[in-house]
Chains A and B, each alone.
Chain A
């Protein structure tokens, strides 16, 4: 059986402007980088990467952007959502010094990987890139787990003024990293891939998803690679083969549109 289970929200916390984390009881094993399908009955069901993992409780962090995320945003503790999953492959922790680059809400799903790295006593450096400090979240959570944290803002309201990928390039020049983990706008991840060709690189991709179990083909990229089951985490070698990575995606009707 692969159907949603109705589950009450344990918490709903405002992280930054328009950004919330919701948590729910889920006892199964979830790997950082995997995602749940979150059903708001009567509205829609959408894929959401896990941003909070404990034995008993899992959570997701999202920005309100469309109908489903707005509905989810307005739900209060105790109200129900439907949960199914986890789906997808998840990240692999590779190496002794890891660099994380999160753009926008992308840092949400990277946070559990940083926490896992701490459990394995692996050194983490994190770049959080946001438009302005109003959108900044998880800075303290990541510092608390011992990571070296840099913030970049497009408007210079906090930390480095400019793009997270530029800050990352500087760090990569001066320090030795074994592995890079990224989630954020695709052009940012594409820019980041070029200086990382000789080290391990893992990026989380987002495509319009319908079935989430590898059948409908809606989220396919490259030569029939399904983001829902073959991804959403892809390594540098795979990404270089995708002509559409950082360039275009397909909308709900399957038409190609720029990312």
Chain B
């Protein structure tokens, strides 16, 4: 029997429906391509869509073109990936060409943006809206870019200010991707909610380092980077769980999701959808299709019909 993402089996029997909603955004399945992975050009995003992703988050785009850091910029360690790409991107003007090619996309395109202040974020969000993005994701959590990302996202007041400024000037849903590299991630999530965000994306990578014993130096050109993959999943689960106890807006879970069961665990912690990044390395570009199938199979064997029945069930 072949299972389809819309929940109808080959023989017309109803099986688990894996569609989900994040506020006003409807996804035919809950697997979203995480920002920074094969999303710098339209062709790459199209390939990921044809491999089953329910939505795409673009590369984080800034006001001006940025080359990023020299290599080494990505390492595979024992239990995860360590990267310091340095937010390379062609800038919002050039990126319009890629967004234009995605205007007739069959899945939502979420424009990821990063700025140094609320003014930059607002200008970028307006451009993304004009380019046809279904939503924007504010990157206030990149752990390795001076003046950007975490440097603006570690302060609750500035996060609230950025979100409310973007919300005041745009009409598409605004998601805020936040960092676990703060004293209390819940405070940052609450600040985003106060700013009227439509959803929280948690978590970004965890600041980390790898030192080479022979050359006696950090291997990444930027020295520190962001750690992702399996090793960080329990941290992501904990963050989503804690956030969902304190905010009412939807949460998109991200961090170490490699299998359908990992996604189910995030739903139980309180996520409405999940993002997948490092698993593209571990399982290939068709990881989205595999994870959807695994979610369906798990839901069928555990008698769940809809993802909404699973969201937050682990809260005791």
- With A218-B40, A224-B46, A250-B41 known as contacts, the answer to whether A210 contacts B215 (CB < 8 A) is no
**Nearest chain B residue, comparing its CB with the CB of A221:** B43
A220 and B40: CB pair below 8 A? Answer: yes
A255 and B70: CB pair below 8 A? Answer: no
Tell me the B57-93 residues at the A interface (CB within 8 Å). Answer: 59, 65-68, 70-78, 81, 83, 85, 88-91
A224 and B48: CB pair below 8 A? Answer: yes
Q: How far is the CB of A246 from chain B (nearest CB, A)?
A: 16
Q: Which of B31-39, B139-147, B187-195, B231-239 contacts A (4 or more CB under 8 A)?
A: B31-39
Q: How far is the CA of A251 from the CA of B88 in the complex (A)?
A: 10
List chain A residues, Cβ under 8 A from B39.
217
A253 and B65: CB pair below 8 A? Answer: yes
Please pick, from B70, B78, B81, B280, the residue contacting A44 in the complex, using a CB distance under 8 A: B70
**Nearest chain A residue, comparing its CB with the CB of B62:** A253
Instruction: Please give the number of chain B residues whose Cβ is less than 8 angstroms from any Cβ of chain A in the complex.
Output: 47
Q: How far is the CA of A142 from the CA of B78 in the complex (A)?
A: 42
Q: How far is the CA of A82 from the CA of B281 in the complex (A)?
A: 22
A-B CB pair tally, cutoff 8 Å: 136
Q: How far is the CA of A129 from the CA of B48 in the complex (A)?
A: 39
User: For the complex, would chain B's binding face be called helix, strand, loop or mixed by DSSP majority?
Assistant: loop
- Determine whether A198 belongs to the interface, using a CB cutoff of 8 Å to chain B: no
- Determine whether A14 belongs to the interface, using a CB cutoff of 8 Å to chain B: no
A217 and B40: CB pair below 8 A? Answer: yes
Q: How far is the CA of A258 from the CA of B217 in the complex (A)?
A: 37
Q: Indicate the size class of the contact surface on chain A.
A: 35 or more
Q: How far is the CA of A45 from the CA of B90 in the complex (A)?
A: 22
A-B pairs, 7 with minimum CB distance: A224-B47, A2-B76, A45-B71, A6-B214, A224-B44, A217-B38, A252-B67
Chain B residues proximal to chain A, CB less than 8 Å:
36-41, 43-48, 59, 65-68, 70-78, 81, 83, 85, 88-91, 94, 97, 210, 212, 214-215, 217, 219, 221, 277-278, 280-281, 285
Q: What are 28 A-to-B residue pairs whose CB atoms are below 8 Å?
A: A1-B76, A1-B77, A3-B76, A3-B210, A6-B214, A41-B217, A43-B70, A44-B70, A44-B71, A82-B215, A211-B74, A213-B281, A216-B74, A216-B85, A217-B37, A217-B40, A217-B41, A222-B43, A224-B41, A224-B45, A224-B285, A225-B47, A253-B88, A253-B90, A254-B65, A254-B88, A256-B94, A256-B97
Chain A residues proximal to chain B, CB less than 8 Å:
1-6, 37, 39, 41-46, 80, 82, 210-218, 220-226, 250-256
